[in-house]
Structures are given as structure tokens and as C-alpha cells.
Amino acid sequence: MNPAAAETPRITIGDREIGRGRPVYVIAEAGVNHDGSVERALQLVHVAAEAGADAVKFQVFRAADLATATAATAEYQKESSGDSQREMLARLELGDEQFARVRSYCDQRGIEFLATPFGVDDVDRLVALGVPAIKIASTDLNNTPLLRRVVQTGLPLIVSTGAATADEIGASVARLREWNAAGRCVLLHCVSGYPTPLDAANLRAVATLEHTFAVPCGFSDHTTSIMTGSWAAAAGACVLEKHFTLDRSAPGPDHAMSLDPAGLREYVAAVREAERALGSGRLGMTELEQEVRTVARKSVVAACDLKRGTPLEPHMLAVKRPAGGIEPDRLDALIGRRIAVDATRDTTLTWDMIE
């Protein structure tokens, strides 16, 4: 069976059902913008909760396990973080006890705690913290050992697709299907450019992913715009992920391409406004339209004074406001029939006036 022919399922994260027709699940991506400080991590949770995000997400790793001593930083990270990726990452680590504090504070604030693991041991750390789902970074789309361990947890997966070819995305989803895990997976369209220019966002890819793989899809947003989330919602995204920080001018790899607290509030508010505007998609008249329908639609009326028993001819009839009488699309059915009452010009005709 072609997966695209199947109905896109919904999945559940915590107490939230996610998929087409459900409210967009907004993940505020704190990432490593705590700069290795648990106090800043707690402040980020506060900001995410105040903004109305559904979840706040961090990154769980041990620098020595994640990068070799000679691994270089990305070009956009060099100015603030230097040349050594491992040294940069070491400054951004939080330990298990610190993450336990963060998770506890998330519970207090009523916001889900999520995190991205980068190795098998990191998955176990997250399971111990009781996360409701696990995020897979774009860079680990083809990391079979990591994916296999995440699948073994039985938790929902949120998988980013940045910097991957279409064939690589397809191969990753095929693995998840083989492991009976695709039914609990969300794919996130992602452009691994930091920041992503608007003309590279390619939001139509959200619908392409959903059509191709028949799983809920969303957008991992690396633009600096507060509007891209609402546009992605209109393009069909059911999950959004957006970086934010306490201070965009702070040193560190991701601060400059993140939203500040006010920007995050605006971002979430714009998404919710887009949801209200998108509506249910059902066709048909709404109660809101009833008044305009009554006063602005038209009826068949007498175009001249008519005597009882007169056979009706086209020149004797006109179409005018308001509604409530014989509808204009039935005018032809009146021709040749007789009027059963005297009617003056502009009288709205009804079927009980026709013989």
C-alpha cells in the first residue's frame, strides 16, 4: 500500500491530541540558550509558559560523547563559540539533577518538558525524567542506533528533516514503519540554516511531507520572523518548534537567531489567531451570515400590479431584495402559472400565492 493513500493518523503527547483538525502544538525551543546555567534554564521555562507554548524543549548530551576533540563548529557559531565544537558543547551541558529541577518546574508551570537526545545514553536519561515524547534532531535522521533506542521506549517521536535528501527522509520513515513506530511519529519540515531566510522557508513542504508519508507534520522554524508559525499553520503544520532566548545579544551559538520573550509571545499569539481564522474547513452557511442572507438575498416579486387569476409572464416578474419569498432560481417555474391573489407591484411572491 502506498503510505500516502492512508489516512493521516493523530498522535498523543501528554494530554494533547496532535494532528489535522487539532490545535497546533507549539514547542518553545530553549535548546542550549541556558548557557549551562540551570537558573537560566528555569527562567526559559517561565518565559515559555508565559508565552502560552505547549512545551519547552532542551538538548540533553555529554560533550565528550557527542563530538570528537577535533570537530569544528559551524560557521554561524564561530564568532560566539570559537572553533572547537566539543569545548563549546562542554560549556552548555546540564546534568541529570539540573534537568530534574527543570522538569519539576515545568510541571509546576503546566508546560510539557521535552528534550532532544544525541546518544543512546541520553535517551535513557530522558526516560528517567519521564518525558512524554522524544525529539530527534535533523542531524540524527539517519542515526539508526539512536532511532532504534528511541523506538524501544514506546514514546512518540518528533523527527526533524533538515539538511536531508528526499531519499534519506524516505529511508528513515521506512525504518520507522519496519519497527512499527511510524504511527507515533511527527515529521517536521526543517531548513538547517541559522537563521533561515524567508525565501528559503519552503512552507509548502509541510503538506508535501504529509501527503508523501501519511504522518502528522509540522515545521521546525529557524527563521527570525514572528509570523512564520502562523503561515506554517495555514500550510498545514500541526506542530511548530521555535528557538527563543532571554537575550538575543548574549554570547552562545543560538541566541542571535532566537526570538526574545516578547517575540515568542507574539509568535504564539499569531499562531492562535491563524487557527481561529482557519476554522473547521466545513462548507455551508454559518449563523454569523444569517442576517446578511436575509436582507441581501433576493426573492421573486411582482414587476407590476397583478389581478387574481392572471397567467404569469416573464415581464410581470422581477428579482429584488429581501429574501423570504420564492427564490430567484425558481422564477422559470412560475411562468404560465396563475396568481391566486391580487398583488401590487413589488409584492414579494410566495408559493401560497400561486395556483
- 302: helix, strand or coil: strand
CB 169 within 8 A of CB 147: no
pLDDT of residue 85: 81
Q: Which three cell numbers stand for residue 83?
A: 572553533
pLDDT of residue 79: 58
Q: What is the DSSP string of 245-299?
A: -S-TTSSSSSGGGSBPHHHHHHHHHHHHHHHHHH-----S--GGGHHHHHHHS-E
Kind and range of the H or E run holding 128:
helix 120-129
Torsion of CA 33, 196, 219, 58, to 10 degrees: -10
- 160: helix, strand or coil: strand
CB 84 within 8 A of CB 67: no
DSSP 184: G
The CB density around residue 295, as the number of other CB atoms within 10 Å, is: 11
Q: Are 16-278 and 287-353 the same fold in CATH?
A: no
pLDDT of residue 8: 82
Q: Which residue has the cell 515568542?
A: 264
Q: From the centroid of its chain, how far is CA 349?
A: 50
**Annotated domain spans of the chain:** 16-278, 287-353
In sequence order, the 6+-apart residues with CB closer than 8 A to the CB of 95 are: none
Task: Spell out the alpha helix ranges (H) of 130-179.
Answer: 144-153, 166-178
Q: What is the largest CA-CA distance in the chain?
A: 101
pLDDT of residue 75: 63
pLDDT of residue 3: 44
Q: Which residue has the cell 563530538?
A: 67
pLDDT of residue 279: 92
Fold of 287-353: Type Iii Antifreeze Protein Isoform Hplc 12 (3.90.1210)
pLDDT of residue 82: 53
pLDDT of residue 67: 78
CB 123 within 8 A of CB 150: yes
Q: How far is CA 90 from CA 6, 20, 67, 242, 337, in A?
A: 44, 40, 10, 23, 90
pLDDT of residue 73: 57
pLDDT in tens, the chain (355 residues): 344 434 788 999 999 999 999 999 999 999 999 999 999 999 999 999 999 999 999 999 888 878 777 777 566 555 555 557 888 888 899 999 999 999 999 999 999 999 999 999 999 999 999 999 999 999 999 999 999 999 999 999 999 999 999 999 999 999 999 999 999 999 999 999 999 999 999 999 999 999 999 999 999 999 999 999 999 999 999 999 999 999 999 988 899 999 999 999 999 999 999 999 999 889 999 999 999 999 999 999 999 999 999 999 999 999 999 999 999 999 999 999 999 999 999 999 999 999 9
Q: Which superfamily does CATH assign the domain made up of 16-278 to?
A: Aldolase class I (3.20.20.70)
pLDDT of residue 74: 62
CB 347 within 8 A of CB 302: yes
Closest C-alpha among 70, 30, 221 to residue 138? 221
Q: Which three cell numbers stand for residue 235?
A: 500550510
